[in-house]
Structure 1
């Protein structure tokens, strides 16, 4: 091949690539984080896609060594610092035409990210269920200031607590009063969570979707979505969605960091059960900006999803859940 022909092919490929990115229909990411890189070392690898590497296997007498679990052929890498994390994440949102992203983290960091992107994409989320919750009065103030659009991520499982623990009742009541959604973590924590430093309170048994039953019965107007669809307890999740029409799920993290066969099996099970209108896209991007593209790829490549189902997952279901107006939806689509 002559150099001229090679150059023409390269230019054609680049034009096609960028045109495709610009022509992608809008996406809503219901699970994004604005964290500080103080939490993990710069450049920490993660293994996305269908590499089937997740949980370290080791002798119980040995110290936990996560380096053995990241020996994959195509890793992605954590950002260098806070600024790099912000800029690369916002760049990924723009690249993939993500028009709205439920973003949880320290309020000051979420506010900084929102200002950096222009204040149109970031839907600010505020967590509860950590060791020290914000007061109800403080949450009301944040909501009044436009700094609280979603109450979540709810980290109750990481405390080893049930969602119907009386200490959390005022928070669910507040979300119903303010008519804002709640996003609660139910599902796997970090790999080997029982040995993971800082996660000693996490309990797998507190991830059952059935533990939400009393909350949903008491707060019938509450919009709530289960992050990670209560994985791997898909049968329980299906039972709960069948019973409670105000209950949705997101598919975050499982769509890029879990074995693809396991994720597809769970997603197809929910689709086959008739819940294609209540499954929402999320990335759960924490420290790895490339995770956003990997999460999108998992839906693009799902062989059992038709185009309408993909659009529902990527955008339509979240637009309904968030009660976006016709004008807002039209703007997201560039009309």
Structure 2
């Protein structure tokens, strides 16, 4: 969800701001084991270092009463005034603990595959630690100094780039159709690599946060993506955070462009649950249920993975088939998994350590 620049600033405010058949576990703590035949694909995971984030920083799941305070515009923002919550998730103490706890959470919730973005070397480390095909490596652009197209092509040839994203250009205040990013979209279409583009909210009170001078909420409009989709009709692309809160605009874009998917990451666990469920229902009711992808946007809180799954499993307006579509089937189709891969994902998995 966020660039490292975001996380540098966010680290200073996190302690106040982000304090088929059978069902998956719904509790965030010590859930039951996964149920065979109900796998999950997480389309939005991060492998971040811990050098810019305080260990123990809390995050509050969105089913708790977390509020953004009213701020007198004449005063400096007091981020200590942000509400905290009774049962926060806590960041691990080290990068190794973050990796191990995140991979353990994936296994606990039967997440068989996870699109994972971060420094190339760190993603490779997570991939090795997870084993198999669990970690699908993503490479970002639009956050800082972007990798040249030739380097991205090389990483793809080496198997280190299977998704191009997260695309962070909204944090630069840039439009998706900015000419400087055209070569990246062209490369993705040429290589048939999916693109994961951030459109949606930044941190609370972003306009008052140091380092966020470039961020513009208006650059989160799904309509800004239209020229890119017109130029690249064969591009596989999903908008992270479904362009929240501009749900109707996103529905209009998905109706017009059949190659456009969305994920529901971060909004499903870090935002007010009523708001997220209303947005999800709006998209499902509009007939877009087959193009909604599950994601956690797990950054520093492995418990977010379970909370994100919980938000789908407890949605009262989804039937079991719709839940399976969002949690697995849609992503399997979008990623073009083979029948053998799908069958392997649905097979029982040996207990950890076997």
Q: TM-score range by the shorter chain?
A: over 0.9
Higher helix proportion:
1
Give 1:50 shift: 1.5
How many residue pairs get aligned? The number is 319
**Worse overlay, 268-277 or 113-122:** 113-122
Give 1:196 shift: 2.4
Q: For residues 24-43 of structure 1, what are the structure 2 equivalents within 5 Å? A: 25-43=38-56
Distance 1:130 1:282 in 2: 20
Give 1:119 shift: 4.0
The aligned residue for residue 6 of structure 1 is none
SS of residue in 2 equivalent to 1:277: helix
Does residue 327 of structure 2 align to residue 314 of structure 1? yes
**Worse overlay, 187-196 or 83-92:** 187-196
Give 1:20 shift: 4.4
**Worse overlay, 43-52 or 142-151:** 43-52
Q: For residues 67-146 of structure 1, what are the structure 2 equivalents within 5 Å? A: 67-146=80-159
Distance 2:343 2:324 in 1: 15
Give 1:21 shift: 2.4
Does residue 124 of structure 2 align to residue 147 of structure 1? no
The aligned residue for residue 172 of structure 1 is 185
2:336 alignment partner, one of 317, 320, 323? 323
SS of residue in 2 equivalent to 1:140: helix
The aligned residue for residue 8 of structure 1 is none
1:254 alignment partner, one of 263, 267, 272? 267
SS of residue in 2 equivalent to 1:114: helix
- Cα-to-partner distance string for 1:250-300 (whole Å, 9 max, x where unaligned): 000000000111101100000000011000100000011100000000011
Change (3 A) 1:320 1:98: same
Gaps of 5+ in 2: 1-29, 349-354
The aligned residue for residue 238 of structure 1 is 251
- Cα-to-partner distance string for 1:186-215 (whole Å, 9 max, x where unaligned): 000111111223322111000000000000
Give 1:85 shift: 0.6
Gaps of 5+ in 1: 1-16
Length-normalised TM-score, structure 2: 0.87
2:210 alignment partner, one of 197, 210, 218? 197
Which of these two proteins has the greater Rg computed from alpha carbons?
1
Change (3 A) 1:45 1:125: same
Note if contact 1:54-1:191 (Cα within 8 Å) is conserved in structure 2.
Answer: no
Note if contact 1:28-1:281 (Cα within 8 Å) is conserved in structure 2.
Answer: yes
What is the CA RMSD across the aligned residues, in angstroms?
1.4
Length-normalised TM-score, structure 1: 0.92
**Worse overlay, 278-287 or 53-62:** 53-62
SS of residue in 2 equivalent to 1:89: helix
1:186 alignment partner, one of 190, 199, 216? 199
Distance 1:259 1:219 in 2: 35
SS of residue in 2 equivalent to 1:297: helix
The aligned residue for residue 161 of structure 1 is 174
